[in-house]
Structure 1
Amino acid sequence: MTKHADIRASLWGDNALPLRPPSQVMNLERLGSLHQSRLSFMRTLVRRIFRERWKIELATFELNNDGFGTVVYEVNAPDGLFSFVLFSDLLLPEERNDRVIATKWDLTMALVEGRVNPEYIAKLKENVPKQEAGRVDSRVFVLSRANRSARNFDYVVNQLATGQQPDVSKIAEVGYLYRTTAVYGSGKLGMADWEKVQQKHRDFARPFASEMFVCFMLRNFSLLQVEHIARHRNEQTFTPMRADIKRYFGIGNSTGLGMAPYLVNHPVLINQWIEMRELALARIRSLGAITSQIKTTLLELLKRCAQHTHETITEDKQQTQHNIILAQEMNKLTEQVVTNFTSWNELIAFSEQHCSLQSQEILVSVMLELYPELVDDLEDFHCADENLDLDPLMPLHQLKAVIERRYDWALAIDFDAEGARETYWYRSEEKMEPRLGSIADVEGKKKAMALAVGYAVRKCYNILVDYIAANPSQITARFMVAHPKLRGIVRRIQGMDRCVYGDIQANLLDKNVLPMHLLRCKLAFFGVSKFDPRSRLWVRNTMFQGAPLLEDIGKPFSDDWFMPLIPKQ
């Protein structure tokens, strides 16, 4: 049996492990309560880099004393050579804009196939700083840009230039030197598409691996740059930054509605991500031995989660309250482990009875930390064939049964209730970002994006029931001829019946829908931390905080940067 077949057997075979039901896992609020884990893409990327000992070195370093210029890193990975090219430019205060519609940034960068010569660097310099307004060829497979932190960048430079370390309590308020404003891949702007990357570049043949790598490299460059500027500002008093403080710096990110449609439009892929996380949990519940060392480490991680949450600063009052509750519930779980812990199933049941969804899901992440031998091999199974094929020969009574079984959640929603169809999703032509609109805007509604899966299923089901009453022995092909506009939703219904999860069980048209849950879910799979909602529509967060540094490659690596804490001063 192949490794992939073995994974599928654990999901579907006669001795399949018990998975949590879709009605629980795919609840929108629960999805919005997920946290980073060992299977998050940042964690799996860093493990791979350190396990395979990638060789990442500066090939070009042409920065002036103020940190402006060009830098090229050469990346020697097991299956290829790549170049990470950065352009650092002077950005005037009046030009600074963190929105996606900005036209200038402090840093712009590209991840490129192969080694770059001066002529190619010049070509990149003509286009990469322009971002959407420029064009690149298929050697490039990620473009990104970033701006300096107004609160941290100059402060850190001044501290190092005068021989002092940054105050870690100040760094905790904003845990980064740069924040990204976009990371583009998958064929945009002339770049290599995902199919080429997946087939030709095995080092990045996992979802979002190249995008995460660019953010990882940006984080390391930011630390190099502040030391470079500080050294030239005052070479006599300059002191390098302590390694533990360096590791505490991450990369900032702001995520808005642009990420939300992805979860709806890629259901097979999302199913794969969630299946692997749920399979890891099921393995632990069934196979994870509870030794004294496991119990000790569990208590340490629960304490760390409480402290990390306490150290997370957010301006959102509701999120602040959530964090207070989460820290309290970590203490509650700690008491349960100390006094009455003999089974993972019992501890999970206790969390579901006495804790919020946030705490329930952080317990899952903690459990995954404890058993790398049961979890880490699943990182190889995050890709999926996303084809949703129509089965024209399926009898209509079988199609109806699939809807009733798999989409019972959609049939249970009263779409005629007040506010149930108040909202629609569209793409703004001015901002080039998804937006929420109201049905009062009749013209705008004509441009609605097809994200209302639940409502589409309900409409399809109603039409199907009437059609079967008149044509009880027909097959799907006849139904499609009669109702060709339903082809897309029928294909999805049939295709998703092969998956355990994948469909978000929520009415995304409801006036009270919280897109924040969609953003949180995807960001958790990326591996971000310290969520700071700015509204119901966008959230700030931190990437790679606590991760090892480039200079740590080749040294002993324990992969223990889950929920990083403030370094001791």
Structure 2
Amino acid sequence: MANLPVSLPSRGADLMELTHLGAIWPTKFSFAHSFLRTVCRMDFSCEISKLRLDDAGRGHIAYRARLDGHTMTFVVFSDPLPEHQQQDRIIATRWDAWAALFIGEPSAGDIEQSREQIQQVTWGRAAPRTLAWSRANRSARLFEHVVASLAAGQQPDPRQLNQIGYLIRTTGFSGNGRNGMHDYAYLRQIGHPLQAPYHAQMMAAYLWREFGYDLALHLARVRNPAAVDLSDESRRFVGVGNSSGIGLVPFVVRHPRLLDRWIGAREQALAEMYRERFEADDSRCDEFDRQLERAIEYFAHEPTGDLDEFAPSEAIHAELLQVREQFAHLRAGWKAGASRSNPLAELLVSWRGRCCLETGELLNSLLLECHEGGNVDANTLHADESLPFDPTQKAGALKDLIETHLAWVSRFTVEGERPFFWYASEENMEPRRGSRDIDEGEQYALPVDVMGRVEELLSRLRAVPPEQTLGRFLIAHPDMRFMVGWVSTLADSHYAIARTDLLTKDFSPLRIMRFQLATYGMLKFRPRSRTWLRATLFQGAGLPRELAAGHAGDGLLPSVPHGYELTEEPLLGE
């Protein structure tokens, strides 16, 4: 086992297939986990700086967070809606709550401007020093269950907490220059602690979780001044929800170099773990065993969604039990003197093809929890997304590059099998999918058809002399400028191109959506339809005082609260 059959290129092609991408779980490289580790390495504090809520929960709360001497303020405006008026879609115009994240302390005028302008969604104008806007709804049934339990002097039923997993469900985050907010290049320019990719959004999401706790306790104390607070265990177990639709999908096509950077960091760390040599008493084997036990417990209780897009929890749980049994056998033989250099790699390689993709990728995520390097600093996951090329390169050389590295593209471009196009909706400029010859607007289609465009570029390159320069080629074919840069930059990248075509009739949006949400660090992927799902972020994350003390929380999977099996109440719907 000294030379395991594992290398970065060997996983590239299979990993980038749609079914495989859609089986990936969060890892230590996911943005939520990267954010938590970053906060734990810094001087951090968080407190309520202002609370103005009436007995119905209307008003606003301001949170002051300090991170290595930098102050941020998160202001949440609360105006609860009747449940039948809630909409999770981005086109909604009313929510239970909406919020802004500021650099520093906003003025009263900034707060009032944000209260009004966030409700304008696309057309609103951000107040100075705004980093992000966000909107959210309550999980009506769980929220009411928690409020009623606390008012009665009791902790909520752990099974109910697990069924849904959040009190507040966000409908998205706007930032990076949108609506006049600070762009994130500014954060890198000033060396801000939130300069790493998506860390500003993660800060906002983490504080949404705090808002959910505080609003529930406020309303419980309205009912009963002697209401109890949520226990630390329950607080840690409850995350913040997210509702995401089909608008997420084009991201992986439009940001290929970022995709390559994200996945490459993960795969590099995996390759390092697979190639390591372990001593018989290596603590990383003990840590993997602990992670495996936690995963078994998690999937023993994790509800399965209504749609069959992903592997059911009970199937993953059953396979994990078998993996644990084999790992125990490997460790026993290894300690008895069997010649093995890496029982973890041997275990995972042996399970390839024997378990579902979700279980296989979960094992990789658990393995990365034992990886001692790879802390994602502020620059690791930034990517230059320009697509440069050499105009003096020969057309024949680019043709050869396509035929060598992108020959697989042709399988996606069968005529008559691509009935969709993508466009930006008039209401909010979000990506949407339309049907050719049925929906209007095909002339305004978004440029996401890279598969078809690669074939078109190849056809044109074959029609010109191979010694012609790309500069001369583009004088005759200026519409190919983007694709020449795209192919020149990405053709030999292992992880830049998702091997799926967004225009084919069998394309599954949920798979791409799950992949992207996993990169954020989400769990509980619950499809509500074939184009919309809910997930949960920061389940198991440390509480503010725990982050301040350097403890990020439970890690990849949350620990189930004690007393899980003690109640028999009917489970709540979402």
Q: Does 1:517 align with 2:530?
A: no
**Which residue is 2:398 aligned to?**
399
Q: CA separation of 1:549/1:20 partners in 2, compared to 1, >3 Å: closer, same or farther?
A: farther
- Once the two structures are superposed, the pairs formed by residues 303-342 of structure 1 within 5 Å of their partners are 303-319=293-309, 321-340=311-330, 342=340
Distance in 2 (CA, whole Å) between partners of 1:564 and 1:302 is: 13
**Which residue is 1:281 aligned to?**
270
**Which residue is 2:479 aligned to?**
485
Q: Does 1:241 align with 2:240?
A: no
Distance in 1 (CA, whole Å) between partners of 2:439 and 2:112 is: 49
**Which residue is 2:524 aligned to?**
530
Q: Does 1:360 align with 2:360?
A: yes
Q: CA separation of 1:301/1:131 partners in 2, compared to 1, >3 Å: closer, same or farther?
A: same
Q: CA separation of 1:321/1:389 partners in 2, compared to 1, >3 Å: closer, same or farther?
A: closer
- The residue matched to 1:365 in structure 2 has which SS? helix
Q: Is the 8 A contact 1:20 1:278 kept in 2?
A: no
**Following TM superposition, by how much is the alpha carbon of 1:331 offset from its aligned partner in structure 2, in angstroms?**
1.9
Offset from partner CA, 1:82-107 (integer Å, 9 cap, x none):
21111112434564322222212111
Distance in 2 (CA, whole Å) between partners of 1:239 and 1:362 is: 37
**Following TM superposition, by how much is the alpha carbon of 1:389 offset from its aligned partner in structure 2, in angstroms?**
1.1
Distance in 2 (CA, whole Å) between partners of 1:148 and 1:270 is: 32
State which drifts further: 42-51 or 281-290.
Answer: 281-290
**Following TM superposition, by how much is the alpha carbon of 1:356 offset from its aligned partner in structure 2, in angstroms?**
1.7
TM-score of the two chains, using structure 1 as the length reference: 0.91
Distance in 1 (CA, whole Å) between partners of 2:57 and 2:235 is: 18
**Which residue is 2:351 aligned to?**
351
Letter of the 1:392 partner, please give it.
P
Task: Give the counterpart of 1:251 among 224, 237, 240.
Answer: 240
**Following TM superposition, by how much is the alpha carbon of 1:391 offset from its aligned partner in structure 2, in angstroms?**
1.6
Q: Does 1:124 align with 2:114?
A: yes
- The residue matched to 1:152 in structure 2 has which SS? helix
**Following TM superposition, by how much is the alpha carbon of 1:235 offset from its aligned partner in structure 2, in angstroms?**
1.4
Q: Does 1:151 align with 2:145?
A: no
**Which residue is 1:386 aligned to?**
385
Letter of the 2:387 partner, please give it.
L
Q: Does 1:460 align with 2:479?
A: no
Distance in 1 (CA, whole Å) between partners of 2:87 and 2:553 is: 36
Q: Is the 8 A contact 2:546 2:553 kept in 1?
A: no
**Following TM superposition, by how much is the alpha carbon of 1:555 offset from its aligned partner in structure 2, in angstroms?**
3.0
Distance in 1 (CA, whole Å) between partners of 2:26 and 2:510 is: 16
- Once the two structures are superposed, the pairs formed by residues 75-474 of structure 1 within 5 Å of their partners are 75-78=65-68, 80-93=70-83, 95-200=85-190, 202-236=192-226, 238-287=227-276, 289=278, 291-292=280-281, 293-319=283-309, 321-340=311-330, 342=340, 343=342, 344-371=344-371, 373-377=372-376, 380-411=379-410, 413=411, 415-416=413-414, 418-419=416-417, 421-430=418-427, 432-441=429-438, 443-467=440-464, 471-474=465-468
Q: Is the 8 A contact 1:41 1:209 kept in 2?
A: yes
**Following TM superposition, by how much is the alpha carbon of 1:18 offset from its aligned partner in structure 2, in angstroms?**
4.6
**Following TM superposition, by how much is the alpha carbon of 1:409 offset from its aligned partner in structure 2, in angstroms?**
1.6
Q: Is the 8 A contact 1:53 1:553 kept in 2?
A: no
Letter of the 1:366 partner, please give it.
L
- The residue matched to 1:520 in structure 2 has which SS? helix
**Following TM superposition, by how much is the alpha carbon of 1:417 offset from its aligned partner in structure 2, in angstroms?**
5.2
Structure 2 residues without counterparts, runs of 5 or longer: 1-5, 332-339, 564-574
Distance in 2 (CA, whole Å) between partners of 1:133 and 1:149 is: 27
Identity of aligned residues (%): 32
Q: Is the 8 A contact 2:412 2:451 kept in 1?
A: no
Distance in 2 (CA, whole Å) between partners of 1:291 and 1:455 is: 53
- The residue matched to 2:534 in structure 1 has which SS? strand
Letter of the 2:360 partner, please give it.
Q
**Following TM superposition, by how much is the alpha carbon of 1:483 offset from its aligned partner in structure 2, in angstroms?**
1.4
Q: Is the 8 A contact 2:13 2:494 kept in 1?
A: no
Q: Is the 8 A contact 1:80 1:201 kept in 2?
A: no
Q: CA separation of 1:459/1:563 partners in 2, compared to 1, >3 Å: closer, same or farther?
A: same
State which drifts further: 159-168 or 188-197.
Answer: 188-197
Q: Is the 8 A contact 2:311 2:356 kept in 1?
A: no
For this pair of structures, how many residues does the alignment match?
A: 547
Q: Is the 8 A contact 2:36 2:552 kept in 1?
A: no
Task: Give the counterpart of 2:495 among 501, 505, 519.
Answer: 501
Structure 1 residues without counterparts, runs of 5 or longer: 1-15
**Which residue is 1:5 aligned to?**
none
Q: Is the 8 A contact 2:43 2:69 kept in 1?
A: no
Distance in 1 (CA, whole Å) between partners of 2:189 and 2:93 is: 33
- The residue matched to 2:268 in structure 1 has which SS? helix
Q: Is the 8 A contact 1:104 1:130 kept in 2?
A: no
Q: CA separation of 1:383/1:362 partners in 2, compared to 1, >3 Å: closer, same or farther?
A: same
Offset from partner CA, 1:156-197 (integer Å, 9 cap, x none):
111111111101111111111110012111111111123223
**Following TM superposition, by how much is the alpha carbon of 1:204 offset from its aligned partner in structure 2, in angstroms?**
1.4
Whichever structure has more helix as a proportion of its residues is 1
TM-score of the two chains, using structure 2 as the length reference: 0.90
Q: Is the 8 A contact 1:351 1:359 kept in 2?
A: no
Distance in 2 (CA, whole Å) between partners of 1:504 and 1:388 is: 17
Distance in 1 (CA, whole Å) between partners of 2:57 and 2:95 is: 14
**Which residue is 1:10 aligned to?**
none
Letter of the 1:271 partner, please give it.
D
Q: Is the 8 A contact 1:41 1:526 kept in 2?
A: yes
Distance in 1 (CA, whole Å) between partners of 2:441 and 2:113 is: 40
Q: Is the 8 A contact 1:67 1:229 kept in 2?
A: yes
Letter of the 1:34 partner, please give it.
I
Letter of the 1:494 partner, please give it.
S
- The residue matched to 1:289 in structure 2 has which SS? coil
- The residue matched to 1:454 in structure 2 has which SS? helix
State which drifts further: 533-542 or 294-303.
Answer: 294-303
**Following TM superposition, by how much is the alpha carbon of 1:17 offset from its aligned partner in structure 2, in angstroms?**
6.9
Q: CA separation of 1:289/1:558 partners in 2, compared to 1, >3 Å: closer, same or farther?
A: farther
State which drifts further: 423-432 or 527-536.
Answer: 423-432
Q: CA separation of 1:383/1:190 partners in 2, compared to 1, >3 Å: closer, same or farther?
A: same
Q: Is the 8 A contact 1:311 1:565 kept in 2?
A: no
Over aligned residues, Cα RMSD in angstroms?
2.2
**Following TM superposition, by how much is the alpha carbon of 1:428 offset from its aligned partner in structure 2, in angstroms?**
2.9
**Following TM superposition, by how much is the alpha carbon of 1:41 offset from its aligned partner in structure 2, in angstroms?**
0.5
Q: Is the 8 A contact 2:412 2:501 kept in 1?
A: no
Q: Is the 8 A contact 2:103 2:129 kept in 1?
A: yes
Q: CA separation of 1:369/1:291 partners in 2, compared to 1, >3 Å: closer, same or farther?
A: farther
